[in-house]
Amino acid sequence: MKKMTKFTELGLDKSLLDVIEKLGYSTPFPIQERAIPVLLENNDVIGQAHTGTGKTAAYGLPILQLTIPKQGIQGVIMAPTRELAIQITGEINKFARNTGIKTATIYGGQGMGIQFDALRKKPEIIIATPGRLIDRLKRGTIKLNNVKHVVLDEADVMLDMGFIDDIQFILDLTPDERNTSLWSATMPPEIMRLAETNMNMPQRILVDSDDLSGDGIQQSVLIIRNKEKSKFLLDFIHGNIGQCIVFCSTKIRTRTVAKMLSQSGERCVTVEGDMSQHKREDSMTRFRKSKSDILVATDVAARGIDIPTVALVINYDVPNQDMVYFHRIGRTARAGAKGRAITLVSYSSVGEWNEIKKQTNVKMTDLNEKLGIKIKIPDPLKRQGGMRRFRPSNRTAKPFYKKRVIARDQYARRKKNTGYVKRTDFGQKKRW
């Protein structure tokens, strides 16, 4: 049996260990156990681990230990979304209590004044989305010439969002002798090329790289008609103890579901792409403080939500990628806890769901069987008849071309009487 490693054995300073102990942590997660000693030695790291495995602490604790207070910006952490950037900042600040190290979060949608105020305090660590960081760099309000540590968190998502060129632009402005760590749930070729050209003999740390089971999450599926989803959504929410996140495929769908839940007396908030940053942050604050029981969101919230009280995730719509599914359900069962995930599959989405299901390594609960609900998917091949034939009534029995002749005659008469004016291809006016 493998001996359980303690945080005290990883080489961390006492100031950090005291904070870790006060937070109630004693045993590191596998990614933390393997990555922290390597990063403390200033080695580059490629880390592959899925959401909820503790990778923020895996790279955050070494950066805090190796950063010197009041010596300018020494660490840059890039994240794909503003929600994830905010979450990372919260985690870093939580561990930085006894270090005297300050952070600043830079992301789009936030007021310039707030960001200027944060930068005036001369932070040592910047957590940013790539686009807004480049804006700050071009304005000259951020300098990267003293950076010693760069982190690319959720690199695969930044790749999908088209940030690869922005990331390269930022890396080119940092010193060559920096320490770099790249974290990703998947490792597509573009990510590996980025690592090859910007990292120095990185050590690969792959933790559960092939495990997409969603450990600690009881996963269930219910195949029903689309119009039946709202009824079953309410049934599952009423039977839930704890907070719940409902994921929808579109912004309009999110608003519709949230309105339905509110009308049913549920305390819910929404997060979706068209909301202002202020409203998104207000929704997340209300949800974090348990002022709302339900968060209805698009996939913009599938990254960056770390709330231990989320006991249930409901996929109101099937996601378009298997990795999105695992990031969604990863909002529950955080840090070794237990949770549930239910996916509502409409008849038209069965094919997409079967592709996702192939990637899972656990037996899912079949709610159709459990609840006695039969699946009655209509077979298009069994539909009677072909295309409908248009059968005109007595009123419309005249051939269609005759109507067009009549309309053209009316147009000619109107043109003659009114002197219709049109523009030629050269933009000049010409009277008929």
266-294 pLDDT tens trace: 999 999 878 887 888 899 889 988 999 99
Non-local CB neighbours of 208 within 8 Å, separated by 6+ positions: 30, 49, 50, 53, 215
* 3-state SS assignment for residue 8: helix
Find out if CATH 3.30.200.210 is the number for domain 7-206.
no
The reply to whether 217-380 shares the fold of 7-206 is: yes
pLDDT of residue 26: 85
pLDDT of residue 72: 96
* Cα–Cα dist 301/312, whole Å: 15
C-alpha distances in Å from residue 246, one per residue of 156, 182, 234, 239? 24, 30, 11, 14
Over the chain, what is the mean pLDDT? 84
| Tens of pLDDT, residues 144-174 | 999 999 999 989 889 888 899 999 999 999 9
Overall pTM > 0.85: no
| pLDDT(34) > 80 | yes
* Domain-wise residue ranges, the chain: 7-206, 217-380
Burial of 181 (0-12, 13-18, 19+ CB in 10 A): buried
Instruction: Could you please state the CATH topology (level 3) that the domain comprising 217-380 is classified under.
Output: Rossmann fold (3.40.50)
pLDDT of residue 404: 42
pLDDT of residue 300: 72
Q: Which amino acid is at 282?
A: D
Residue 121 banded pLDDT, cuts 50, 70, 90? very high
| Tens of pLDDT, residues 322-344 | 778 887 888 887 766 789 999 99
Residue 417 banded pLDDT, cuts 50, 70, 90? low
Residue 429 banded pLDDT, cuts 50, 70, 90? very low
| pLDDT(185) > 70 | yes
Residue 126 neighbours by CB distance under 10 Å: 24
pLDDT of residue 266: 94
* 3-state SS assignment for residue 264: coil
* Cα–Cα dist 230/67, whole Å: 51
Are residues 380 and 257 in contact, defined by beta-carbon separation less than 8 angstroms?
no
pLDDT of residue 409: 54
- 126-130, 168-172, 214-218, 394-398: least confident range: 394-398
Residue with the larger pLDDT of the pair 389 and 355: 355
Residue 397 banded pLDDT, cuts 50, 70, 90? very low
pLDDT of residue 383: 46
pLDDT of residue 51: 63
